[in-house]
Amino acid sequence: MKSFLSFAFVWFLFLTLTACKPPSLNNGCDPSSRSFFELLVVKNAINDRSPSCIPYLDRIQTSFLNYGVFDAGSSSGIFSAAIHQGKMIIAGTFTQLAVATGGGAFVWKDSAKPIGSTYCPQLDVFDDSSNTAGSINHAVKDPDGNLFILGNFSHIQGVSRRYLAKINPNCQLDQNFNANLNNIGAFYYDILYLEGRIFISGSFQSALGPITNVPVATNRSHVASFNAVTGQLDDWNPNISGSNVKSIVTDGTFIYIGGDFTAVNANGAGNLGKLHKDNGTTFYPTMNTNGGVNALAIHNGVLYFGGYFSTAGLDSRSRLAAINLSDNTLLPYFNTLGIVGFSVEDLVIYNDQLIVAGEISSPRLGMLKTDLTGNLLDSDYSIGGGVQAVYKLSVIDDKLFAFGFFETVRSISRNHFFQLDLITDEVTSFDPKFLNTNTSALGVAIPFKDNVIFLGGGFGAIDTQNKKYLAEIDLETGIPTPWDPNPDSVVNKLTIHNATLYLTGTFTTILGTTRNSSAAIDLNTYSLLDWNPVFSNGSVETMLVVDQSIYVGGTFQNINTIPYNRLAKIDAITGAPDSSFLPNPSGEVRSLQFYNNELYAIGQFTSIPNAATYLASLNPITGGFIRTHTDTFDNNFSAYSGFISDNRLIMTGQYSTTAPYIANGFSIYNIPDLTSVTPSGSFSNNGQFMRSAVQNEKQIFFGGNIENFGGLSRVGIMSINRSTFALTAWDPKLSSGTNVYEVMLKDQAIYVVGSIPGVANRYRSGIVKLDLETGASY
């Protein structure tokens, strides 16, 4: 639908404008020219925002940010969700919401807010080895505005790219660039662009296997070079022995390398080396250190280097030194600075200042400034919390971007990142609000285009907002609303009826008011209502509102200290249980459906009170037994959910049916007599089941603990034909390990929540928005 609207807009613009322009005018930059308007149409059709004489027309674009749910920086889960007036309310174990970008994010330069439009789509950095967010270790741009990213990832924007990828100025993956790097367990540290080539460094070496098998298996040791257009590995092949190369810089002719290595091209070298950009086999001596080199910077013929060494050449230097590149002599800089701590991790030069970052305890914590001859400057940033370390630095215009393992800078709260105004030496308000527990040695900031900045690191998600257990997001933008009910513990189940939100869980307070396990909220005013039944000795697993009553099922055994066993009927206004409704199931009730004035109960019971395995219809007034099915089950455990469609009830769970047909966990019954219908497919094992379902005029969408159906792979969610019950081709390809708790349909989108690590090799955390027709993720 979105593609059609975009195409229609472009086609309308083309027909309108070209029809109004005489063909004789043919100046591409003249607004009165037909060529100008033809180029205008093309530029807007391909979403090209690069600078040119042809403008980009800002128009309504799809704008959706993929906020996910987290707890203490780790992915969390959503147990229940419901939609009301363009908003989705979610409940679960989370304490934070953040945009699940993976370890790379495009943000606005002025606000640090993530960009959520087709103007600059996010990269959705994903790592299939861990089935979670990938990280960006470093990045660089070429003169044409292309971005090259290096890190620990397997997919960018859902497309297979391992460790190294190229992003075009329109923020889309360059499909023509592919280094075809192998998954050999190496770490990739640094990257630079030089004259149409991409140079990278890392821990890769022959002992780990070929760096690529394209076109043939090829080894490289700690450094490699690629064609910047195609990604093809070239013949530049220095032989470096040791653990790694962590930093690479260039003066335009030579490439200087620092790391933990012992030889360059079979010549002894202690952690610092020099290579020619075109001839990688010649040895150029520089200077040895007695410990690793982590960072390099070149300025006016001087190479500054930092690490965890205590000597450079024959002279004492504490973790920071400089050599004159004209004769490789050690300069007297830093000989009295005396840096104390584990290591210097990064260096940048701004005007006449050297900014030094690392695991440093003295003469400053985490970060310090010197002049270019090594004299300490007065600036003190009082890095606080955790390890108090700054690991990576980037400079954009007059701003320093600092990444590390800290919580405060000059007593200002900052989670592993801060921006410093280098003119005023003040910490700015720019804060992407990374969600992570430790960025380690990762972090890079690069001006990308217009007023967009690319940030890379180990953060996984940005724009963190603290929302505990219950939150509301906008369906169109994905952005959380300001509403913050702040329950003190987990919300397990919620339902909405007539603008009232009913919820149950383990909380004892909500909206600052005491509520013990249940509450009701008026969604017109967001005020707490008096409804407050207290469920004890178990939980509520399902709620169903019918007229002025709420049917609740679960494992509870008491309501307001009065015995009500696992299934009850409660007044929707007062919360009082109906003492005349006493079905008394023998086991947990997990799903309730109401149809043609009968209540259908599904769960882990064998009587209710008559003999009935997993399923029974009840009188909604008294709870009296009406009927059950005649199926025979083997390997019995329980049923989980039910759904009614076209006078048929669909039940799934962890069970096997042996008669009147053989199947696992998927049953269909005619209503009202509950006679069996042979399903056209079943789950692969009796451990699969659905938890939620919605339907449109053609399909039924099921979500749950699903791996495959009818012999075909379907993870977390599937769709069957509403008439034939046959599996459809609709498959959004949720990541392995997905467990869906709720599926909801609104307009042309399917909203899916639960424990969801990704979709189609794109990083997500708990929330996915899918196209109704194609299954493509937003």
Q: What pLDDT digit, counting tens, does each position of 616-636 carry?
A: 999 999 999 999 999 999 877
Structure tokens at 505: 């869980």
Segment 17-28 mean pLDDT = 50
- 3-state SS class at 619: coil
Output the CA torsion sign for 26, 28, 33, 35: positive
pLDDT tens-digit map of 265-299 = 999 999 999 999 999 999 998 999 999 999 999 99
Distance separating alpha carbons of residues 567 and 552, to the nearest angstrom: 6
Whether the predicted pLDDT of 327 surpasses 80: yes
Whether the predicted pLDDT of 28 surpasses 90: no
Read off the pLDDT band of 119 (50, 70, 90): confident
Structure tokens at 734: 């949720």
CB distance 298 to 256 below 8 Å:
yes
**Sequence-ordered list of residues with C-beta below 8 angstroms from that of 89, at least 6 positions apart, any chain:** 81, 82, 83, 470, 471, 472, 494, 496, 501
- Res 60: pLDDT: 36
Question: Per mean pLDDT, which range of 4-13, 31-40, 441-450, 734-743 is the poorest?
Answer: 4-13
- Res 176: pLDDT: 97
CB distance 533 to 550 below 8 Å:
no
Distance separating alpha carbons of residues 471 and 484, to the nearest angstrom: 7
The kind and range of the H/E element at 44 are helix 34-45
Read off the pLDDT band of 441 (50, 70, 90): confident
Whether the predicted pLDDT of 23 surpasses 70: no
Whether the predicted pLDDT of 40 surpasses 70: no
pLDDT tens-digit map of 143-179 = 999 999 999 999 999 999 999 999 999 999 999 999 9
What's the mean per-residue pLDDT of the chain? 92
Structure tokens at 164: 């190294």
Q: Residue 408's beta-bridge partner residues?
A: 384, 413
- Res 195: pLDDT: 97
Read off the pLDDT band of 135 (50, 70, 90): very high
Distance separating alpha carbons of residues 624 and 610, to the nearest angstrom: 9
- Res 430: pLDDT: 98
CB distance 361 to 367 below 8 Å:
no
Distance separating alpha carbons of residues 718 and 650, to the nearest angstrom: 14
pLDDT tens-digit map of 59-74 = 334 478 999 999 998 9
Whether the predicted pLDDT of 98 surpasses 70: yes
CA atoms within 13 A of residue 471's CA, in its CB half-sphere:
29
Distance separating alpha carbons of residues 538 and 567, to the nearest angstrom: 12
- Res 6: pLDDT: 46
Distance (Å) of CA 469 to CA 70, 82, 343, 502, 645: 10, 14, 41, 14, 32
The type of residue at 448 is F
Whether the predicted pLDDT of 583 surpasses 50: yes
Burial class (CB in 10 A: 0-12, 13-18, 19+), 320: buried
Q: DSSP characters for 641-703?
A: EEEEETTEEEEEEEEEEEESS-EEEEEEEETTT--EE--S--BSSTT-EEEEEEE-SSEEEEE
Read off the pLDDT band of 30 (50, 70, 90): low
Segment 722-746 mean pLDDT = 96
**Gyration radius of the chain's alpha carbons:** 31
Q: DSSP characters for 448-465?
A: EETTEEEEESS-SBEEEE
Segment 230-234 mean pLDDT = 98
CB distance 211 to 224 below 8 Å:
yes
CB distance 250 to 290 below 8 Å:
no
Segment 372-398 mean pLDDT = 95
Whether the predicted pLDDT of 301 surpasses 50: yes
Read off the pLDDT band of 515 (50, 70, 90): very high
Distance separating alpha carbons of residues 310 and 320, to the nearest angstrom: 8
Segment 423-431 mean pLDDT = 97
- Res 4: pLDDT: 46
Distance separating alpha carbons of residues 777 and 2, to the nearest angstrom: 12
- Res 103: pLDDT: 96
- Res 49: pLDDT: 43
- Res 59: pLDDT: 34
Structure tokens at 180: 């075809």
470-694 CATH = 2.130.10.10
pLDDT tens-digit map of 746-755 = 999 999 999 9
Percent of the chain at pLDDT > 90 equals 88
- Res 54: pLDDT: 55
Distance separating alpha carbons of residues 245 and 760, to the nearest angstrom: 34
Strands 444-449 and 426-427: unpaired
Segment 250-262 mean pLDDT = 97
- Res 760: pLDDT: 96
Strands (E), 277-339: 293-299, 302-307, 311-312, 315-316, 320-324, 329-330
- 3-state SS class at 13: helix
**Sequence-ordered list of residues with C-beta below 8 angstroms from that of 60, at least 6 positions apart, any chain:** none
Domains in the chain: boundaries: 2-45, 470-694
448: left (phi over 0), alpha (psi -120 to 50) or beta: alpha
Q: Residue 465's beta-bridge partner residues?
A: 97
